[in-house]
């Protein structure tokens, strides 16, 4: 799938500049199940990705939840220590693959806001 969208992602990235680019990581159980991180694989050839977030396993995968269940799912993110080294004036891009309710990116964005990093943008390939 990454190869299919490579040109589109490359084109979008050429029009936008960010100091730091990170992504929504797979949870440990998804990594174990799939053997790869789909969001990382989707964007890694276009961006210099920094692993700044940790995602814990949830009760069940997002894909198995309806809209209400997704909206009610508690936050499963935490920050890696490296997030504290980012200067406050830097622009940050958080990447994800699919935007359904927006909760995943909102939770991730809150992690950066809590670190007093306010210039945060999000991007998803699909909605």
β-sheet bridge partners, residue 124: 96
pLDDT in tens, 15-47: 999 999 999 999 888 888 889 999 999 999 999
- What's the average pLDDT block by block, 10 residues per block, for the chain (127 residues)? 88 96 92 91 96 82 69 77 96 92 88 96 89
Which of left, alpha, beta for 118 (phi over 0: left; psi -120 to 50: alpha)?
A: alpha
Q: Please state, in angstroms and rounded to a whole number, the distance separating the CA atoms of residues 24 and 104.
A: 8
pLDDT score recorded for residue 113: 96
Report the distance separating Cα 117 and Cα 123, nearest Å: 17
């Amino acid at each position: 799938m990454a190869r299919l969208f490579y040109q589109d992602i490359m084109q979008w990235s050429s029009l936008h500049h960010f100091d730091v680019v990170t992504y929504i990581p797979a949870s440990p159980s998804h990594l174990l199940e799939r053997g790869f991180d789909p969001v990382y694989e989707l964007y890694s050839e276009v961006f210099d990705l920094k692993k700044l977030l940790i995602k814990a396993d949830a009760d069940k995968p997002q894909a198995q939840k309806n809209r209400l269940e997704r909206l009610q799912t508690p936050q499963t993110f935490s920050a890696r220590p490296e997030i504290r080294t980012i200067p406050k004036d830097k622009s940050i891009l958080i990447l994800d693959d699919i935007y359904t309710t927006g909760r995943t990116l909102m939770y991730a964005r809150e992690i950066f806001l809590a670190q007093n990093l306010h210039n945060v943008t999000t991007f998803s390939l699909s909605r």
